[in-house]
Amino acid sequence: ALANTRMDKGSCKRRSDLQNRCTAQSLDPHDKDKQPLKATVLQKDVGLLSGICLIIGTMIGSGIFISPKGVLLYSGAVGPCLLVWTACGVLAALGALCYAELGTMITKSGGEYPYLMEAFGPIVAYLYSWTTVMVLKPSSFAIITLSFAEYASAPFYPGCPPPPIVTKSLAAAGIIIIVSVNCLSVRLARYVQNIFTAAKLFIILIIVAAGIVLLAQGKTETFSNAFEGASSSAGSIGLAFYNGLWAYDGWNQLNFITEELRDPHRNLPLAILIGIPLVSLCYVLVNVAYFTVMTTTELLLSPAVAMTFGNRVFYPMSWIIPLFVVFSTFGSANGSCFTAGRLAYVSGREGHMVKILSYISLKRYSPMPALLFNGFLAFCYMLQADLGTLINYFSLAQWAFYGLASVALIVMRFTRKELHRPVKVPIVIAGLMALVSCYLVLAPVIDKPELEYLYCVVFILSGLLLYYPFVHLKLKWARNLMRPITTHLQLLLEVVPPETSD
Ligand code: ARG
């Protein structure tokens, strides 16, 4: 009898799913011509090249064109500055190696979410998705579109900063365009990503080539006494790392879309192994190039390092740099938007966010509600005046989650021995990542304790106030309240729950 009841419930659910699909599509269920041809799930369409472009294209944003100043300021001299850039690259590579093991062992989308779920259970995974969906993803999307807007408007305001209304409007336009592209076609979003990645690699190649020519011409003065004035305080080296690591951030992007990756067991580790060393090499060489035309003092005084380089080396074609920085930031924002949508989608699917976030467009096969939600939050953050401070405080949370994911890897070596691991990294790498993350989380708090860090922790834990009633108890009134809202949104956006294999 129990089995029958289950079956009835199952078929009932399937029937209502079908009705939902048909209402949303506004067609007769018997009309075969208009039935969707593919199952309504996110398609497995991302190949190796697009995977590499997603990693490279998100990592290279505005950081390498701006952060060199911060790294140099806190490291004190050219030698340590280049060492910090290299060390950041090694760190990103080690982190990504851990993620290669995690991603090939648990081939689910959503970045750290499924790993934390498997290793530590739903509460930690929920707190991760709560913080990342509500703050980390949309705020980094907002900050990249803001730097896009700053570079795009700068040529029209020579000698003065563009008025905030202009940059904000441009950033808003950027968010709207990127979200629309991602909603309308996953394939188009991938093309945009690939094209803009090619563009940013092109400009980096130009800068590096110019640097090599200048080095060959003997412009090596800045490199003499490379370690003079090197800072020795742990606090300022930490700050130098923060600046460098922002430029490298994005190394875990492919793990957000594992389910859409073709042959993830091969392509995920391969994309990581190609993408991250390539970016690290580019970053170090670009820095060397900067130092061929600027002394340390000049670099520190320059408002935008890459622009100064362009003005000195490429004049009268110096406009090429801001133009390509615009392309670079646009591509990075597109990558961020692409992956952010997948996290909201996965946590909606697991019932950790409202269900509508896990629905998929019937016609476009994109996680439209999740993308729109992320875009909406990014828009709100973008209007904020001091987004930079928000990011600073929450980058601690980001590193706490990277650290937790490495600990998850170690924990699962013991608790989930049976899982197949196509990639198995030495466990010391995960241990090292966990230690470094601990340092990066604790050092600034101990160095300069501020109330804002406490707010950040309070915000993360406040997620539990929603978890208990809505996720754990699944209160009936909340579901009744959500049902009509979900139905209306479903009809409006033409989205349906993803089909499951059964
Ligand atoms: N590394 C990029 C830059 O230099 C920023 C990446 C932001 N992170 C992210 N997960 N979207 O601009």
pLDDT band of residue 471 (cuts 50, 70, 90) is: confident
37 located within any domain: no
Tell me the β-bridge partners of 8: none
Which of 374, 27, 363 minimizes the C-alpha distance to 178?
A: 374
Over range 68-72, report the average pLDDT. 90
Q: Positive or negative CA dihedral for 205, 210, 211, 212?
A: positive
- Cα 245 to ligand 1 centre (Å): 9
3-state secondary structure of 77: coil
274 located within any domain: yes
- Cα 469 to ligand 1 centre (Å): 35
pLDDT band of residue 388 (cuts 50, 70, 90) is: low
- For residue range 80-110, list pLDDT tens digits in order: 999 999 999 999 999 999 999 999 999 999 9
- For residue range 341-380, list pLDDT tens digits in order: 899 999 999 989 888 999 999 888 899 999 999 999 999 9
Mean per-residue pLDDT of the chain: 87
pLDDT for the residue numbered 501: 58
* Distance between CA atoms of residues 392 and 240, nearest Å: 13
* Distance between CA atoms of residues 56 and 275, nearest Å: 6
- Cα 423 to ligand 1 centre (Å): 26
Print burial letters for 377-416: b (CB count within 10 Å at least 16), e (below 16).
bbbebbeeeebeebbbbbbbbbbbbbbbbbbbbbbbeeee
Q: Residue 308: CB within 6 Å of ligand 1?
A: no
Of all atoms in ligand 1, which is nearest to the CA of residue 144?
A: 12
Residue to mutate (ligand 1; options 246, 342, 391; most atoms within 8 A of CB) = 246
Phi and psi at residue 30, to the nearest 5°: -90, -10
Give the relative orientation of helices 186-216 and 164-184 as an angle to the nearest 10 degrees.
Answer: 120
3-state secondary structure of 230: coil
Q: What is the DSSP string of 161-214?
A: PPPHHHHHHHHHHHHHHHHHHHHH-HHHHHHHHHHHHHHHHHHHHHHHHHHHHH
Residue to mutate (ligand 1; options 55, 64, 140; most atoms within 8 A of CB) = 140
For residue 468, give its domain range: 9-15+46-496
- For residue range 254-293, list pLDDT tens digits in order: 999 999 999 999 999 999 999 999 999 999 999 999 999 9
Residue 351, phi-psi category: left (phi > 0), alpha (psi -120 to 50), beta (remainder): left
Q: Positive or negative CA dihedral for 187, 193, 199, 202?
A: negative
Is ipTM beyond 0.95?
Answer: yes
Residue 22 predicted with pLDDT over 70: no
3-state secondary structure of 496: strand
Residue with tokens 């021995």: 417
21 located within any domain: no
Neighbours of 453 (CB within 10 A): 18
Q: Residue 132: CB within 6 Å of ligand 1?
A: no
Q: Which of 154-158, 226-230, 399-403, 495-499 has the highest mean pLDDT?
A: 399-403
Q: Residue 243: CB within 6 Å of ligand 1?
A: no
Residue 3 predicted with pLDDT over 50: no
24 located within any domain: no
* Distance between CA atoms of residues 236 and 325, nearest Å: 28
Length of the chain: 502
Residue 96, burial from CB neighbour count under 10 angstroms (0-12, 13-18, 19+)? buried
pLDDT band of residue 385 (cuts 50, 70, 90) is: low
* Distance between CA atoms of residues 494 and 486, nearest Å: 11
Q: Residue 55: CB within 6 Å of ligand 1?
A: no
Q: Chain-centre distance of CA 501, in angstroms?
A: 29
The amino acid at 29: P
459 located within any domain: yes
438 located within any domain: yes
Whose alpha carbon is nearest atom 10 of ligand 1? Answer: 250
374 located within any domain: yes
Domain containing 103 — which CATH number? Answer: 1.20.1740.10
Residue 25 predicted with pLDDT over 70: no
Query: Structurally, how many domains does the chain consist of?
Result: 1
* Distance between CA atoms of residues 285 and 213, nearest Å: 12
Of all atoms in ligand 1, which is nearest to the CA of residue 250?
A: 10
* Distance between CA atoms of residues 227 and 465, nearest Å: 51
3-state secondary structure of 261: strand
- For residue range 209-260, list pLDDT tens digits in order: 999 999 999 988 888 888 888 888 877 888 888 889 989 999 999 999 999 9
3-state secondary structure of 495: strand
pLDDT for the residue numbered 364: 87
* Distance between CA atoms of residues 119 and 97, nearest Å: 18
- Cα 24 to ligand 1 centre (Å): 36
- For residue range 102-111, list pLDDT tens digits in order: 999 999 999 9
Q: What is the DSSP string of 316-370?
A: TSTTHHHHHHHHHHHHHHHHHHHHHHHHHHHHHHTTSS-GGGG-EETTT-S-HHH
Q: Residue 140: CB within 6 Å of ligand 1?
A: yes
pLDDT for the residue numbered 409: 96
pLDDT band of residue 151 (cuts 50, 70, 90) is: confident
pLDDT band of residue 37 (cuts 50, 70, 90) is: low
291 located within any domain: yes
Which long-range CB contacts under 8 A does 408-415 form with residues at least 24 apart?
A: 408/102, 408/112, 408/115, 408/116, 408/118, 408/119, 408/120, 409/98, 409/101, 409/102, 409/115, 409/119, 410/434, 411/119, 411/120, 412/105, 412/115, 412/118, 412/119, 415/119
Q: Tokens at residue 279, please?
A: 């970016």
Q: Residue 58: CB within 6 Å of ligand 1?
A: yes
Q: Residue 105: CB within 6 Å of ligand 1?
A: no
Residue to mutate (ligand 1; options 99, 332, 391, 392; most atoms within 8 A of CB) = 332
Q: Residue 395: CB within 6 Å of ligand 1?
A: no
pLDDT band of residue 192 (cuts 50, 70, 90) is: very high
- For residue range 397-452, list pLDDT tens digits in order: 899 999 999 999 999 999 999 999 999 999 999 999 999 999 988 888 888 888 88
Residue 199 predicted with pLDDT over 50: yes
Phi and psi at residue 360, to the nearest 5°: -120, 145
